[in-house]
Copies of this chain bind each other. A is one copy, B any other.
Amino acid sequence: MQLHQASWQEIDTYLKGSKGIIVPIGSTEQHGPNGLLGTDAICPEVIARHAGDQSGILIGPTFNVGQAQHHLGFSGTISLRPSTMIAALYDWSMSLARHGFERIYWFNGHGGNTATITAAFSEIYADWSYRRAGANTKPLRLQMRNWWELPGIGSLCASIFPVGEGSHATASEVSVTYYAYPDAQKNVAMSPKIAPTGPILDADDYRRRFPDGRIGSDPSQATPEHGRRIVEAAAKALIEDYKGFLAAE
């Protein structure tokens, strides 16, 4: 069930049965020579919607521009500053809390988002924590999960791409986007075959270290079929992981 395709009355009905929601969150940033700028938003969106279709879990709209300052040296990247992103996550969360949602599961597609999302959680919790005990409003419970860290998914990706999975513009994530948008496949030779690795600092430094944008990966291995396998496995794992989140004390 997608929030964007539901009416408010359908959400009211949903809330009678569940106080939880999954919100895909990603980034708009370069993903190397054959990867899509939308990769990090597309991956959690596609997996989450697949899971939502199968389970009836409510899937929110995708938070599609995140923390990507280090990619700004490559055209098409769009980034929020962390302080802006914290403010936006605060507003999204408080909007959902207004309606009675109590547990929000942020399903993340971009490693560079994790620190800012976690900081935003503290910013949101702080709204309750600075008050004396006994406040009568129910605090939100927030969770973040990177799709590639769902149980079983890391090993699946490693088994499909034993060499050249990498850590940015990975063979897996490019596969997922090719599955989602087969017409967007790009046939680009990689040089070097496997990209270098190194630390992530500012945008100019990033471009010097990683001239075509990839880190440690050979995404020329990506195919829609690999992507299909990952999406299906990840959607299944997501449903289980989210159920655990809802059930957690």
**Residue of B with least CB distance to A80:** B91
Task: Determine the chain B residues whose CB is within 8 A of the CB of A128 once the complex forms.
Answer: 202-204
Q: Measured between alpha carbons, how far is A73 from B133 in the docked complex, in Å?
A: 7
A164 at the interface (CB under 8 A from B): no
The reply to whether B204 and A129 contact each other, CB–CB distance below 8 Å, is yes
The reply to whether B64 and A77 contact each other, CB–CB distance below 8 Å, is no
**Residue of B with least CB distance to A134:** B204
Task: Determine the chain B residues whose CB is within 8 A of the CB of A2 once the complex forms.
Answer: 38
Q: Contacting chain B: which of A111-119, A154-162, A222-230, A234-242? A: A111-119
Q: Which of A20-65 contact B (CB under 8 A)?
A: 28, 30-38, 41-42, 60-65
Q: Could you tell me how many residues of chain A have their Cβ less than 8 Å away from some Cβ of chain B?
A: 97
Q: Measured between alpha carbons, how far is A61 from B4 in the docked complex, in Å?
A: 16
The reply to whether A133 and B75 contact each other, CB–CB distance below 8 Å, is no
A107 at the interface (CB under 8 A from B): no
A189 at the interface (CB under 8 A from B): no
The reply to whether A95 and B72 contact each other, CB–CB distance below 8 Å, is yes
Task: Determine the chain B residues whose CB is within 8 A of the CB of A131 once the complex forms.
Answer: 98
Task: Determine the chain B residues whose CB is within 8 A of the CB of A133 once the complex forms.
Answer: 73, 203-204, 207
A122 at the interface (CB under 8 A from B): yes
Given the known A-B contacts A100-B75, A115-B119, are A33 and B61 also in contact in the complex, defined by CB atoms under 8 Å? no
A79 at the interface (CB under 8 A from B): yes
| Cβ of A69 to closest chain B Cβ, rounded Å | 4
| Cβ of A138 to closest chain B Cβ, rounded Å | 10
Task: Determine the chain B residues whose CB is within 8 A of the CB of A67 once the complex forms.
Answer: 119, 122
Q: Measured between alpha carbons, how far is A10 from B36 in the docked complex, in Å?
A: 10
Task: Determine the chain B residues whose CB is within 8 A of the CB of A11 once the complex forms.
Answer: 37, 75-76
Ranked nearest first, the 3 interchain pairs of A and B with the lowest CB-CB distance are A4-B38, A115-B118, A129-B203
